[in-house]
A and B are shown apart, each in its own frame.
Chain A
Amino acid sequence: MNKMIKGSLAGATGVALLMGGFGTYALWSDSENLQVNGVQSGELDIATSAGTYDDANTATANDWTSTDKMVPGDKVTYTQTFTVKATGKNMKGNVVYTKPNLSNTFAGLANSVVITSDNANVVESQTTPGTFTFTSPFGTATLKAVVTYTLPSGTANQADQNKAATLPAAAFTITQG
């Protein structure tokens, strides 16, 4: 072999030895996962649907229509339910309904709005009717609003004939706080 070939072989052998030397390094290592984590938000919601009229003097349910006419002695109710949700560890707040003025041409018609809660954690204020408070998350509750119209039995002669009364729509507002 000539000198050039011998030199090339010697160089290749050296490089190969050097490369083999690199593969012999070995360091310690370790690892731990940051576990899956996350958060969820709670819910504050109020929903309702159409109400129903009822002739409160009969045992039959929902037997009054908006076109029926009252006479003395009649007691008519309009009932509407509200589904209220409040979840979240630190959830607290209130539900407020402020009764608007009755638009009314009657002289002797009695009218009231009574709201009840089926959840002991949603409590009506003793001093402010229509205001319900909750100091902790309660899940789901149902509030029932009953609007009552009463034309007294003793309405005599021709009094309060062809009259009308309307309770305008008004919001139930649930507020965190």
Chain B
Amino acid sequence: MGLRVPFVTAVVGALLVAGATTGTTYASWVDQAPLHQSGVGSAAMSLGASDAPASTLLAPGAITTVPVTVTDTSSGAAKNLVQRVTATASAPTGVTVALTRDTGSGCPGSAFTSRDTQPGGSFVLCVRLTAAATASSGTVQVVLTGRQVQGSVVQGWTTSRTVSLPVAVVPNAPVLSCQGSTLSWTATGSTYRVQARDNGSEAWEPFTNTSETSARATGIGIYGSRQFRVVAVTGGVESDPSNAVRINRLILSYSCEVL
């Protein structure tokens, strides 16, 4: 009984203080409105090119043109993206490359320097190939480089794409000569296919294959004769046939004539 009165007094006092405090701190208007979510995303800059032919045959001295379609494969939603495309090329020994613009109706046009593109745009780059007589087969590489253009200033992103063009140089046709029953020819390929046919026959048949530049004519009957010619082969690519020669057999001796 002696403690009850002070305890009740303390509880009541605490409640009064709490109430007073509450009354002074929680009495204000509040309202809210959101700054909505916002955000951005970035694009990607890239270049694409049409598939190059599996192999391009180059005849020495002749000009061969390979059109390559270059496409700006950058993100289509890149509102302000412009890239300037330039190109350089390298080629096997003896093969020269010139890069030209498409005239709009085909290759070749004037020399290619650069081209500005936007996502989805494309243009044709003409790759003109010329092989010297001593040219080697191999791969022509065209390196396309895209550089971002901001206004008139080239700065920002860069990208590149390499187009590989396998080229096979067609060997020159050998020049065939003969002496007696010996055939000899100029060296224009890495291997040679000697072909023969009987007089009066139209079809040439394989006679022998060799990496040498001479061969002996055999299989000619007494008082008989056969014609021979040679095809040079380099990297699986055949030249035009050489001139033909006719070998004539008497009994033991041979004579020949260049046809």
In the complex, whether A129 has a CB less than 8 A from a CB of chain B is no
Contacts of A172 in B (CB 8 A): 32-35
Distance, CA A151 to CA B29, complexed state (A): 41
Contacts of A162 in B (CB 8 A): 41-44, 75
Distance, CA A35 to CA B67, complexed state (A): 98
Question: Would A157 and B79 count as touching, CB distance under 8 A?
Answer: no
In the complex, whether A134 has a CB less than 8 A from a CB of chain B is no
Contacts of A175 in B (CB 8 A): 28-30
The answer to whether residues A70 and B155 also contact, given A173-B32, A174-B32 and a CB cut-off of 8 A, is: no
Question: Would A158 and B41 count as touching, CB distance under 8 A?
Answer: no
In the complex, whether B104 has a CB less than 8 A from a CB of chain A is no
B44-77 CB mask vs A (1 if < 8 Å, else 0) is 1100000000000000000000000000000101
The answer to whether residues A69 and B33 also contact, given A155-B157, A157-B157, A161-B45 and a CB cut-off of 8 A, is: no
Q: How many residues of chain A are within 8 Å of chain B by beta carbon?
A: 59
Contacts of B153 in A (CB 8 A): 153
Chain A CB within 10 A, most for which of B40, B75, B78: B40
In the complex, whether B148 has a CB less than 8 A from a CB of chain A is yes
In the complex, whether B38 has a CB less than 8 A from a CB of chain A is yes
Binding-face segment, A18-26, A39-47, A118-126: A39-47
A52-78 CB mask vs B (1 if < 8 Å, else 0) is 010101000000101111111110101
Question: Would B37 and A71 count as touching, CB distance under 8 A?
Answer: no
Which of A46, A74, A166 is within 8 Å of B33, CB to CB?
A46
Question: Would A76 and B28 count as touching, CB distance under 8 A?
Answer: no
The answer to whether residues A169 and B37 also contact, given A55-B80, A57-B80, A73-B156 and a CB cut-off of 8 A, is: yes
In the complex, whether B39 has a CB less than 8 A from a CB of chain A is yes
Distance, CA A130 to CA B222, complexed state (A): 113
Contacts of B75 in A (CB 8 A): 69, 162
Q: Which residue of B lies closest to A78 (CB)?
A: B38
Chain B residues numbered 130-163 whose CB sits less than 8 Å from any CB in chain A: 148, 150-151, 153, 155-159
Shortest Cβ gap from A60 to chain B (Å): 11
Q: How many residues of chain B are within 8 Å of chain A by beta carbon?
A: 33
Question: Would A153 and B150 count as touching, CB distance under 8 A?
Answer: yes
Question: Would A167 and B28 count as touching, CB distance under 8 A?
Answer: no
Main secondary structure of the interface of A (DSSP, over half): strand
Which of A48, A151, A163 is within 8 Å of B34, CB to CB?
A48
Contacts of B30 in A (CB 8 A): 44, 173-176
Which of B37, B155, B157, B158 is within 8 Å of A167, CB to CB?
B37
Interface residues of A (CB under 8 A from B): 44-48, 50-51, 53, 55, 57, 64, 66-74, 76, 78, 80, 82, 93, 97, 103, 106, 109, 113, 145, 147, 149, 151, 153-177
Shortest Cβ gap from B40 to chain A (Å): 5
In the complex, whether B202 has a CB less than 8 A from a CB of chain A is no
Chain B CB within 10 A, most for which of A74, A145, A151: A74
Question: Would A174 and B31 count as touching, CB distance under 8 A?
Answer: yes
Distance, CA A80 to CA B44, complexed state (A): 29
In the complex, whether B36 has a CB less than 8 A from a CB of chain A is yes
Distance, CA A145 to CA B32, complexed state (A): 15
Question: Would A154 and B155 count as touching, CB distance under 8 A?
Answer: yes
Which of B34, B77, B78, B155 is within 8 Å of A153, CB to CB?
B155
Contacts of B42 in A (CB 8 A): 69-71, 106, 151, 160-164
The answer to whether residues A166 and B39 also contact, given A72-B148, A73-B80, A73-B156 and a CB cut-off of 8 A, is: yes
Contacts of B38 in A (CB 8 A): 51, 53, 66, 78, 147, 166-167
Distance, CA A82 to CA B31, complexed state (A): 12
Contacts of B156 in A (CB 8 A): 71-73, 153-156
Distance, CA A116 to CA B40, complexed state (A): 23
Contacts of A156 in B (CB 8 A): 155-158
Q: Which residue of B lies closest to A157 (CB)?
A: B158
In the complex, whether B178 has a CB less than 8 A from a CB of chain A is no
Which of A158, A165, A170 is within 8 Å of B157, CB to CB?
A158
Contacts of B36 in A (CB 8 A): 48, 50-51, 80, 169
In the complex, whether B81 has a CB less than 8 A from a CB of chain A is yes
